[in-house]
Amino acid sequence: MPIVPPPSRWAFPPAEEAPPIGILGAGADLEPGTVLAAYRAGIFPWPDQSGRLLWWSPDPRAIIPLSGFHASTSLRRLRRHGRYTVTRDAACADVIRGCATAHGPTWITREVFAAYVRLHEMGWAHSVEVWQQGELIGGVYGVAMGGLFAAESMFHLARDASKVALAELVEHLRARGFQLLDVQLATPHLRSLGAIEIPRAEYLGRVAEARDLRVSW
> Is residue 81 predicted with pLDDT exceeding 90?
no
> Which CATH number does 62-210 carry?
3.40.630.70
Orientation angle between helical segments 161-176 and 73-81, nearest 10 degrees: 80
How many CA atoms, within 13 angstroms, populate the side-chain half-sphere of residue 175?
7
Mean pLDDT score of the chain: 96
Report the C-alpha gap between 100 and 166 in whole angstroms. 17
Region 65-81 average pLDDT: 92
Q: Which residues, 6 or more positions from 98, have their beta carbon under 8 angstroms from its beta carbon? A: 136, 138, 139, 155, 157
What is the predicted pLDDT for the residue at 106?
82
Q: Please state the rounded mean pLDDT for residues 180-188.
A: 96
Compute, in degrees rounded to 10, the torsion defined by CA atoms 144, 39, 207, 175.
-10
Q: CA 147: distance to chain centroid?
A: 13
pLDDT confidence bin for 17, thresholds 50/70/90 = very high
Is 58 in contact with 200 (CB distance < 8 Å)? yes
161-178 residue pLDDT tens: 999 999 999 999 999 999
Q: How confident is the model at residue 131 (pLDDT cuts 50, 70, 90)?
A: very high
pLDDT for 151 beyond 90: yes
The span from the CA of 96 to the CA of 29, in Å, is 19
pLDDT at 40 over 80: yes
pLDDT at residue 116, as a whole number:
98
Cβ proximity of 42 and 57 under 8 Å: yes
Tell me the CATH class for 15-59. Answer: alpha beta
Q: Is 134 left (phi over 0), alpha (psi -120 to 50) or beta?
A: left
214 vs 105 pLDDT, higher one: 214
Looking at residue 61, its pLDDT comes to 98
pLDDT average, residue stretch 90-103: 95
Strand-pair category, 61-63 with 180-184: antiparallel
Strand runs labelled E in the chain: 23-26, 44-45, 54-56, 61-63, 85-88, 125-132, 135-145, 148-156, 180-184, 196-198
Give me the pLDDT at residue 105, please.
74
pLDDT at 73: 93
Reported confidence tier of residue 82, pLDDT bands at 50, 70, 90: confident
CA angle 166, 167, 170 (to 5 degrees): 85
The ranges assigned to domains in the chain are 15-59, 62-210
